[in-house]
Amino acid sequence: MPFQQILRELLDNTPGALGAVFLDREGEAVELWTERVFDIGADSLRAIGAYQGVYLSELKRLCERISAGRLQRFIIDFEQARVLSCDLKEGYYLVLVIEPTASEGIAWHRLEECRRNLISLL
């Protein structure tokens, strides 16, 4: 199953999803998907993903320093969107942007399914 198809399924199955991006350890988009270009364009999605990688790296270091265990996921809430991020493996990570009113529980569940599918291809 190609990366784009996996991301497309994530958005199709997540009510309120705006875009998803799968990134490498350098913050470069391996693949992304958004059908709602007026809400969030590809360039904005790439930028959001890259910044999430910076936050992810810093949070991993903090968790290591305080012996909190492995960071699994995190969310940032904005007025116009929620950004959910999770670590994959070997420095890859996944970011999902949803509407602020979308169900966080459903989004995390769908994100975890997508995560497993991507990891199986890495």
Domain ranges of the chain: 3-121
Rounded to two decimals, the pTM is: 0.92
63 Cβ contact partners less than 8 Å away, ≥ 6 residues apart: 69, 70, 71
Confidence bin at 1 (pLDDT 50/70/90):
low
Homologous superfamily in CATH for domain 3-121? Dynein light chain 2a, cytoplasmic (3.30.450.30)
What whole-number distance in Å separates Cα of residue 88 and Cα of residue 37?
Answer: 26
Q: Report whether pLDDT(117) > 60.
A: yes
- Residue 5 to residues 17, 20, 48, 54, 87: CA-CA distances in angstroms? 15, 11, 21, 26, 19
The span from the CA of 33 to the CA of 23, in Å, is 12
Q: What is the pLDDT of residues 63-116, one digit of tens each?
A: 999 999 988 899 999 999 999 999 999 899 999 999 999 999 999 999 999 999
pLDDT in tens, 7-58: 999 999 999 999 999 999 999 999 999 876 556 788 889 999 999 999 999 9
